[in-house]
Structure 1
Amino acid sequence: MASDRPWQWCELELLLGISAEAFQLEKAVCSHGLFMMAPNYWDPLSNTLTRPLRLPFSDHRSSSGSVIVTISQPSHRPSSLTLRVHGTCSVSPQQQHALLAQVSRMLRLSETEEKAVREFRNMHNYGDDDQNKSFTGRVFRSPTLFEDMVKCILLCNCQWSRTLSMAQALCELQLELQNVSSFSSSQKVENENFIPRTPATKESRKKHRSRTSGLSSKGKLLKKKLELEAEGNLQEDHVLATSLNSNLPPIDTDENLCQHCKACENSKELSADDESFCGFSNGRGYFAMGGIGNFPSPEELASLDESFLAKRCKLGYRAGRIVKLARAIIEGRIQLGLFEELSKDASLLSYNQLAGHLKEIEGFGPFTRSNVLMCMGYYHVIPTDSETIRHLKQVHSRKSTTQTVQRDVEEIYGKYEPYQFLAYWSEIWDFYGRRFGKMNEMSCSDYKLITASNMKNKGGGERKRKQAS
């Protein structure tokens, strides 16, 4: 890297193993709408995925920090993926394991998932000449089950454009919550410039109390910080410049822990022409300049007031469901680790157990449950909504209704058991490709164009989106 670059980074290698032969990063990522949702950033020019990932602290403290990671598949080493970890020149073995595990989950690189992809492709008569297909049997998901669950809630009862906006708002909020941590430590000299030196008037304190009376302590801190920013008392440039590193874990200094390290200093500019960033300049700018943080953790969301979250991120009724889910997780009433363990074999018995657990959680109706279970590796149930009805009408000439759609999908896709969803989604994704072009080549500014109105046949009507949960 050029010596006038300020950013440190190191690279890790993830061997694809049995996945190497037919694996293509752009198709593994751009295979489901989840890849379009913040904080994921797909760069179509460099075929790289960039997003924050969480790391455990190297000294085994309970909390964690985030680092921005860029994932690429080098053309000269297609049997492996390269993870570029930004903001540090080394990561500990524990942190390496955490990063690789999150990436493996997103791209479904386990033996169980690989078996499902292979069996589906054989069942669906995929051959060597089908490499140009937009969907190849691997469905992108999030690095954590919690993020998948919340995003499945965001899919309900709204247009795709609003789903994208809500996900982005949650990631913007997470960045603010990181800054609150620094803001609340105002007694430290290095954070002194976050606090106005003149005390607020009694009147402003009274107004502040009335506006924040319904907020938790962290929510009140965030509210106060936002007010100070609006008054010009906070230096926003400094906030954005430090926010990406404000919650980073301590990094081990042994450079032998990295397979490749480079560092640079004394520059305030990013260059899109600098090949050492492998296309990351756009991705890094998306986070550093766009006010986007990581996806909020259960701990971060559980501390917030439901009404504040609903208003701040425009979540509506979903805010209450998300906060209750987060609180149940941190209180141990919902054990996501147990859910993940049950899903490893993807058996019908474990499916029924997981479906039963999810059914007890507020807001996880049939549509949301089916989507979450699909994210967990169960493909024999198709989540049905108005989009399913539209697809069956346009592609299969079925006059499906909300009462008959489940029966219709079973008749059409039953021959692909236990991979009915993969067969259905293959048709959906190919249809999107014909309407909007290849998903891996779309600009992120065009994601909101994927709406029901833009998928109508000429002269055809479109059913009103049905309520689902």
Structure 2
Amino acid sequence: MIGEENKIILMEDSQNQGCHPEGTAWFEFHMELPSETEPFQLEQAVCSHGFFMMAPNHWDPLSKTLTRPLLLHNPSSPSSSSSSLLVSISQRSQSLAVRVHSVHSISPQQQRHITAQISRMLRLSQAEEKAVREFRSVHIDHPNRSFGGRVFRSPTLFEDMVKCILLCNCQWPRTLNMAQALCELQFELQNVLPCAVVGSSNPKVEAEGFVPKTPASKENRIKKAQPKGTLLKKKLELELELEVDGNLQIDNHVFDLSSDTTSLPPDNGDSEMHGSDDSCYQFPNEGEYFDRTGNFPSPIELANLSESFLAERCRLGYRARYILELAQAIVEGKIQLEELEELSKDASLSCYKQLGEQLKQIKGFGPFTRANVLMCLGYYHVIPWDSETIRHLKQVHSKNTTSKTIESDLEEIYGKYEPYQFLAFWSEIWDFYETRFGKMNEMHSSVYKRITASNMRSTVNATNKRKRPSRKCQC
């Protein structure tokens, strides 16, 4: 995955090692960036989708640096060890400076694995470069300077698939909360109870002694106030809908992961909408955050957990079953991640249909989730839609869109950009959010939780704008 295929060159003469002032070791190497398209901008490539706000990613808007743990082995191998190191990525002209923390050196093979994961996150392959060039050529009538045609994704397909599940049927703060809880769980599995859970022969490890740390979200607080009969009925209806339809015609603004907050409506104490505990969603400073938060869990780390434990520890609800079954299928070899990635390399329509059929067999992967996963794999001709998409078409395009007409409306508006309909839509909606909330790459992580559907629908008055000099939201 290195060299000509990904247009990435490791600059050997720029490798170095050293220590921070406080004595922490680090190792640094550079990746030369492709030059065929317009000048690459790291902040554009990272701050282009809500995934960059989800743990374990941490974007620093001041230094324009992305920091997160990355695996030291081939991420497509589900049975590999879960060893990882904290890595920071920043831009130096037409190269990326990659700093690996807490080590004086890494092996050439580990360096290749880290480079491949960075290449995947930032979409630096030849195929993605071609897509960026072609999209810009057909989308010249509506340029969005904050969207360069690259949609940020995870370093592994498994992380993308799980995060697509986390987007469904909940508010954005809860999605952030669940992702962070999964990363905290990974840290605990590696450092707190490695013998009790990791590698256990028990196929359903309960991990007694683990106490869920993630506070209940708005969704849980609402449930407590409702009659048990009503809750049970709604729960059964929802789970039935998810089983059959695969997720999503509910008003959850999952795709409004894009909103910035140079200015936001003031917090009026509406804790039901915004949440009452800022600490649940903001990243502490780098050292504190990564001291207690691990990498995103791998399939093998989740496969032996019990559904009840996973659901309770990370407040996943019904999603725990889907995530657990996905992890188990990968570990058992029923789902081959490497094969799915290989099929998507040329982004052909025949492969799209084949991949779609494979994903359709996985529980919890309905139309919306499948379309999102396939977008992560490089297919841009289908726009995943939900109620937020309907809102956008009504508000921006003055369409009387409903769930029955949305597909024809999307075709009417974005069909001319084929096969890059999603990129055209995403560029437009990203521009809408940035116009309303401010630049994504300048947002401070502490306000991510305030990117909700209500704030996107409401008009932001000049009198209600709250200035945050260096604390801007991104989605």
TM-score with structure 2 length normalisation?
A: 0.73
Question: Equivalent residue for 2:176?
Answer: 164
Find the aligned partners of 2:444 and 2:388 in 1 and give their Cα distance: 23
What one-letter code is carried by the residue in structure 1 that aligns with 2:369?
A: T
Trace 1:48-447 onto structure 2 (pairs within 5 A).
Answer: 48-56=65-73, 62-74=80-92, 78-125=93-140, 133-182=145-194, 216-217=204-205, 219-220=206-207, 223-224=208-209, 226=211, 282-288=285-291, 291-447=292-448
- 1:13 offset after TM fit, Å? 1.1
Q: Distance in 2 between matches of 1:284 and 1:3?
A: 13
1-structure distance, mates of 2:323, 2:196: 25
SS at match of 1:286: helix
Task: Provide Cα deviations, 1:301-346, integer angstroms capped at 9, x if missing partner.
Answer: 1111011111111111000000000000000001111000000000
Q: Partners of 1:64 and 1:444 in 2: how far apart?
A: 27
Residue number in structure 1 paired with 2:218: none
Deviations 1:238-267 (A, max 9, x none): xxxxxxxxxxxxxxxxxxxxxxxxxxxxxx
Distance in 2 separating the partners of 1:98 and 1:126: 39
Where does the alignment leave 5 or more consecutive residues of structure 1 unmatched? 186-213, 228-279, 460-469
Question: What do the CA deviations read for 1:175-218 (whole angstroms, capped 9, x no partner)?
Answer: 11111355659xxxxxxxxxxxxxxxxxxxxxxxxxxxx9933x
SS at 1:52 equivalent = strand
* Number of equivalences: 366
Q: Give the aligned residue type for 2:25.
A: Q
What is the alpha-carbon distance in structure 1 between the residues aligned to residue 191 and residue 140 of structure 2?
Answer: 52
Q: Secondary structure at the match of 1:392?
A: helix
Matched residue type, 2:68: R
Shift of 1:403: 1.4
**Larger fraction in helix:** 1
* Alpha-carbon distance between aligned partners in 2 of 1:37 and 1:3, rounded to the nearest angstrom: 27
Contact 1:43 1:282 in 2 (8 A): no
Deviation at 1:20, TM superposition (A): 6.8
Q: SS state of the match for residue 408, structure 1?
A: helix
Structure 1 residues 216, 435: CA separation in 2 closer, same or farther (over 3 Å shift)? same
Offset at residue 225 of structure 1 (A)? 5.6
Percent of pairs with identical residues: 65
SS at 1:17's partner residue?
coil
Q: Which amino acid aligns with 1:13?
A: H
Of the two, which has the highest radius of gyration?
Answer: 1
Residue 35 in 1 paired to residue 52 in 2?
yes
Deviation string 1:328-366 (CA, Å, 9 cap, x unpaired) is 000000111100000000000110100010001101000
Task: Render the CA deviation track for 1:403-442: whole Å, top value 9, x for unaligned.
Answer: 1111111111000000000000001111110111101000
Distance 1:103 1:17 in 2: 14
Give the counterpart letter for 2:396 in structure 1.
Answer: V
The whole-number CA distance in structure 2 between the counterparts of 1:406 and 1:158 is: 23
The CA distance in 2 between the partners of 1:448 and 1:226, in whole Å, is 24
Change (3 A) 1:174 1:64: closer
One-letter amino acid of the structure 1 residue matched with residue 45 of structure 2: A
TM (norm. structure 1) is 0.74
Displacement of 1:19: 5.4
Distance 1:20 1:417 in 2: 20
Q: CA deviation at 1:161?
A: 1.2
Shift in CA distance, 4/379, structure 1 to aligned 2, threshold 3 Å: closer
RMSD across aligned C-alpha pairs, in angstroms?
2.4
